[in-house]
Amino acid sequence: MRKLDKLLDEDKNKWIKDNLLEILGLLNLGNESILIAEKYFRSYRFTIPLSIENLIYNMQRVTQHHESLVIEDIKEFIKNFKGYFVLNQKEFVYTTETGNTKKHPPSNCEITINGKFQKITHPDTSKSQTELILKQDLLELAKNSVSNQKFDSNIILNKIKTEMTSVKDLLYLAILSKIFEINKSQNFYNYDGDAKYDLSVVMEISNIDEDVINKCLGFEGVFEVYIEKLLKFLPKNQKSFSIFYSHNFNTNTCYMTNNIHINPSLSKVLFVELEKIPIAEKLEETYTDIKQNLLKNEERCPLFDYKDEEFLFMNKYRSIFLDEFKKSKIFNFQLEDNELKALHKLIDKKILKIQNDEILLNSNERFDAYYETLRNKETDRINKNVLEITYRWLKIEIDINAPLKQIVKNKIYERKQEIEKIEVQKCPECGGKIPPLRVKEYLDGKDIICMYCNYLISKRL
């Protein structure tokens, strides 16, 4: 240990003592809490927190130096400190159900940058698949550097509160709170895998309508659940957290996704502080205000459902009218009063007719054309409502210190208890987690759409 201390005290190695040790310590925490590699649905996923690739990325983030300079520094570290760690070159192979195999990396590679998968030249496997296994002396110093980190939680908390000016910021705060909750137990947070799901749970607890949740977080959602956006709440060069990649690959493509690990002691302090902020209550209160304003306009209601009587009638009995084998029949005496009203309008338009009390199709072409016209009109109205509520809500300025209505507090607690009882389910196509209330709908027989890959999940398939 003395020999190592003496080596670190040399001027040329000051950067290691000042920066690299803490990064090694944080990445090692990730290393201790991770399953290094696993079969993950239709891909193979591996994560090596203490890879050369992750060392370079975090050193560049902390020092703000150009990547080429950081790479040279890491090379010098490996050369001068090679007695204090082992370099372990790993190999990963994906095997398909038919027995075909492919070593990592495949020919294509994509990485999430501002939430979008972008094709890149795959990082050198000598960086992404080479792990530093720290020997005892260096491991102890790295761990101690994390334990002894000096941080002022008030500075970070004040930055968080300063950046939080709108509902959009409050949603990022909800994710950040979940990250602190996970990290305080020394576990890393799988950002690209869990952030969208965790946020959807908070929004469900906050009584946000499904259509708006989908518009925010769905396959082409308007809310940017990107780690780059979240990091604005944290000092950019903070050594109290590390970000490291997972590689998800199959025979064709590798997707690099982000994980984050924040100092456990800091996470404990900040989690307690963020728990004092009524995030779900503020989300519900602001959303209800926006929604109530739109509900005053009768032409816009119902906000998320079809209302045209003719369309509702056509949509309900469409399969009967268009069934060329006539397996089912519908008679006018079966209809409710509002349906009879719609029926007579459609008869006047020569779309339907009545023969011996049976309602029959008069013109297939007219039916299809009018159905599409009404559906487009109804869909446009609903889409406009969803868009307006979503964008207006995300922009609302918030005051986290303003008093809340007691009824909101009570409802949030009850809803949270109900949602937490629902077992986590995953999409059979991509493995993404399905929001709890969508799981409930699926179990009740309703088709649902995966917000990660847009896959239709149906019991009928």
**Residue % of the chain over a pLDDT of 70:** 93
Which is more confidently placed, 159 or 280?
A: 280
For residues 52 and 127, is the Cβ–Cβ distance under 8 A? Answer: yes
Domain with CATH 1.10.10 in the chain: 293-400
Closest CA to 199 of 214, 188, 220, 184: 214
Average pLDDT estimate for 270-285: 93
Q: Which tokens hold the place of 30?
A: 């990730």
pTM here is 0.89
Distance CA 392, CA 280 (A): 18
**Kind of pairing between the strands at 93-95 and 101-103:** antiparallel
Mean pLDDT computed over every residue of the chain: 89
**Lowest pLDDT segment from 26-35, 82-91, 251-260, 343-352:** 26-35
Given a cut of 80, whether residue 177 has pLDDT beyond it is yes
Please give the pLDDT value at position 426: 92
For residues 408 and 402, is the Cβ–Cβ distance under 8 A? Answer: no
Please give the pLDDT value at position 136: 95
Q: Which tokens hold the place of 88?
A: 């372990």
**Lowest pLDDT segment from 74-78, 117-121, 278-282, 443-447:** 117-121
Please give the pLDDT value at position 120: 60
Please give the pLDDT value at position 154: 87
Please give the pLDDT value at position 39: 72
Please give the pLDDT value at position 111: 63
Please give the pLDDT value at position 73: 96
Range of 154-158, 165-169, 225-229, 406-410 with top mean pLDDT: 165-169
Average pLDDT estimate for 393-416: 83
Average pLDDT estimate for 138-165: 89
Closest CA to 230 of 168, 285, 172, 190: 172
Q: pLDDT-derived band of residue 36, with 50, 70 and 90 as boundaries?
A: low
Q: pLDDT-derived band of residue 271, with 50, 70 and 90 as boundaries?
A: very high
Q: pLDDT-derived band of residue 50, with 50, 70 and 90 as boundaries?
A: very high
CA 101 to chain centre: 30
- Owner of token pair 């002894």: 148
Please report, as a single letter, which amino acid is at residue 422. I
Distance CA 220, CA 142 (A): 41
The per-residue pLDDT for range 203-251, each reduced to its tens digit, is 999 999 999 999 999 988 999 998 988 888 887 667 889 999 998 888 8
Q: pLDDT-derived band of residue 374, with 50, 70 and 90 as boundaries?
A: very high
Please give the pLDDT value at position 250: 83
Instruction: State phi, psi for 318 to the nearest 5 degrees.
Output: -60, -45
Which is more confidently placed, 253 or 134?
A: 134
Please give the pLDDT value at position 157: 87
Distance CA 171, CA 97 (A): 40
Average pLDDT estimate for 57-83: 94
Given a cut of 80, whether residue 358 has pLDDT beyond it is yes
The per-residue pLDDT for range 88-126, each reduced to its tens digit, is 998 888 888 788 888 888 766 666 555 555 566 666 777
Q: pLDDT-derived band of residue 272, with 50, 70 and 90 as boundaries?
A: very high
Average pLDDT estimate for 150-158: 85
Average pLDDT estimate for 329-354: 93
For residues 244 and 418, is the Cβ–Cβ distance under 8 A? Answer: no
- Does domain 293-400 fall under CATH 3.10.20? My reply is no
Please give the pLDDT value at position 118: 59
Please give the pLDDT value at position 14: 93
Please give the pLDDT value at position 326: 75
